[in-house]
Chain A
Amino acid sequence: MGTAEIAVRRRNKSERLGRVGRLAQGKFVSSKNVPDLLKRIIEPGDILCLEGDNQKQADFLANQLASLDRKDLHDIHLVMSCITLPAHIQLFKKGMIRQVDFCYAGPQGTAVADLVKAKKFPVGAIHTYNELYARYYIDLTPRVALIAAAKADRKGNLFLAANTEETPAIVEPTAFSDGIVFAQVNEIVDKLPRIDIPADQVDFVVEAPYPMHLQALFTRDPAAITDVQILMAMVALRGIYEKYEVQSLNHGVGFNTAAIELLLPTYGERLGLKGKICKYWMVNPLPTMIPAIESGWIERVFSVGGEVGMERYTAARSDVFSTGRDGSFHSNRAMGQLAGHYAVDMFIGASLQIDVNLPGRKLVVQLVETFQAGRVPTFVEELDAQDPSIKKALHGVAPVMIYGDDVTHIVTEEGIANVGACRSIAERQAAIRAVAGYTPVGLKRKKRETEELRRRGIVQLPEDVGVRPSEATRSLLATQDIKGLVRWSQGLYDPPAQFVDW
């Protein structure tokens, strides 16, 4: 039975490849033949994977796919990390998709919400990245995967450059299950700097007429860091990093964590913490880490992806970053997520909303201001994600990114709530209210409860961890602008044009 099934799958692949005929020369397809080729290699009912996370996108292939008609492409079970491009939305609008399993919607959030309302978004499940990648190996193995690489050689080997991202996590399960791997590349060359994906796992290659979509998504301009974020960063450094002697960490990518990175060589140095904390990092090569790296704080960084402009810097600091034989930066989203989950002392970052009904030992720290832009409170009695209409549209799935059980500490500009140490749900709620500031949730706090939690160390105000709020000013940052980062990097960091004013 088993052998017969495998034979079927293998035979089916060779049938598909047989239909391609003269549309490809060996593995190589000219860009004008891509739509026809896609029609011939994809069948109704297929699980189709389209590479695209928040930074890197197989956008040429996505556009070609979206240019097809429903008669050529339908009943597709789409699996992909992020619904990011207008082309992705087109697939749904044209009614090509039977089911979608994905992680998040990013810039197409509103468009996806409209599709949900119009009942044109047949969602299977919403996953974390690694849940989805894991399912590629088990029950969501792609029959066809459309991926993106920087370069290919004449044999079809692929070079992924700094943004390896999720390519291996898609290619391996597909290639080893008789699926078809089709790569768009920016350039076909005679010799690759290094081989990231062997030609053996690649069926088709097209040199795209434009380079793949790549965003400098995590570049935080120090000029936009506020005094309030600096206050939170100081509180976190003293009350969490210093207190627990955090050695290895999975760092967020917001302005709050950027502030922490820029405080290490100044405030952190003054506290005598250098060499004692923050040595091993799982985070993208963030420009705001440059001063800490240059000051000798950081031993090693492993990343899920690259960051535009950091290529020369990361190559020059190969003692800190993961680099290939060619000397250039390497990343891996699946492995980075694993490392960030299992190999670190602490995860610290910010999510959009925190549920006050946190039911719930690694440190999982949420770093949030009590109010977001436009005075939207961060603390709410019930998450928008738990809204019955959203839940119903998503078949009962609530898109919660981090569950309360997992969070150990919440840091706001008002202080730290050690929710992991709370004895009851009621106590946990009181601790959250104590640091929720003047949001409607925070206004319900009772002075006596807060004082009691403070006495027990479950709630700590800035002064309790030795931070004077009046000290929290931008002058504490190692540098206050992008140009300063370039100077710290000794000219090795090449910021994208939108950040350059010189």
Chain B
Amino acid sequence: MEKFAKAFPSKPLKNTAGKPWALAGVVGSGNLEVLVERGSRPSDAMECHIETSIPGYKASWLAALADFAHHYPAGGTKVTINDQGAPPVLVTLRLRQAYDHLTKGEK
């Protein structure tokens, strides 16, 4: 297991009210779960905590998360990931799904 945390610059989340959290994905072989939680106050950073079963890919993780934080206003959110060897594309996909659930309310 490898654990790391980092905050990435990101524009503040547009709506401060709404669902407090959203989760996408499951922890299973080649998969991961992403929990996105809304912070209590606006911020210009997306805070990320990662636990992965496959060590040695920190650079890929950080690049994928930085790109996400750059493309979407996610400032003030806390992202927590439990990973069991998902490919980076799935990281982005699940993040986007969780983010959509959080910001669009339904599902």
Interface residues of A (CB under 8 A from B): 227-228, 231, 369-371, 375, 413-414, 437-440, 443, 469-470, 472
Contact = CB atoms under 8 A, between A and B. Distances in A.
Contacts of B16: none
B93 A370 contact: no
Chain A CB within 10 A, most for which of B57, B60, B85, B89: B89
A228 B90 contact: yes
Contacts of B64: 438
Contacts of A437: 88-89
Nearest to A445: B63
Contacts of B89: 228, 231, 369-371, 413-414, 437
Task: Please name the 10 residue pairs, one residue from A and one from B, whose CB atoms are nearest each other, closest first.
Answer: A438-B60, A438-B88, A413-B89, A371-B87, A438-B64, A228-B89, A438-B63, A443-B63, A437-B88, A469-B93
B93 A227 contact: yes
B47 to A, nearest CB: 20
A39 to B, nearest CB: 52
Contacts of A439: 60
A470 B63 CA distance: 20
Looking at A375, A414, A438, the one whose CB has the most chain B CB atoms below 10 A away is A438
A336 to B, nearest CB: 33
B87 A443 contact: no
Interface of B is mostly: helix
A472 B87 CA distance: 16
A376 to B, nearest CB: 10
Contacts of A469: 92-93, 96
Contacts of A371: 87-89
B1 interface: no
Given A375-B85, A470-B96, A470-B97, A443 B60 contact: yes
Contact of A443 (B54, B59, B97): B59
16 contacts: A228-B87, A228-B89, A231-B89, A231-B93, A369-B87, A370-B87, A370-B89, A375-B54, A375-B87, A413-B89, A439-B60, A469-B92, A469-B93, A470-B93, A470-B96, A470-B97
B76 to A, nearest CB: 22
Interface in B68-107: 85, 87-90, 92-93, 96-97, 100
A413 B92 CA distance: 11
A132 to B, nearest CB: 36
Nearest to B87: A371
B57 A375 contact: yes
A371 B57 CA distance: 12
A369 B85 CA distance: 15
A470 B97 CA distance: 7
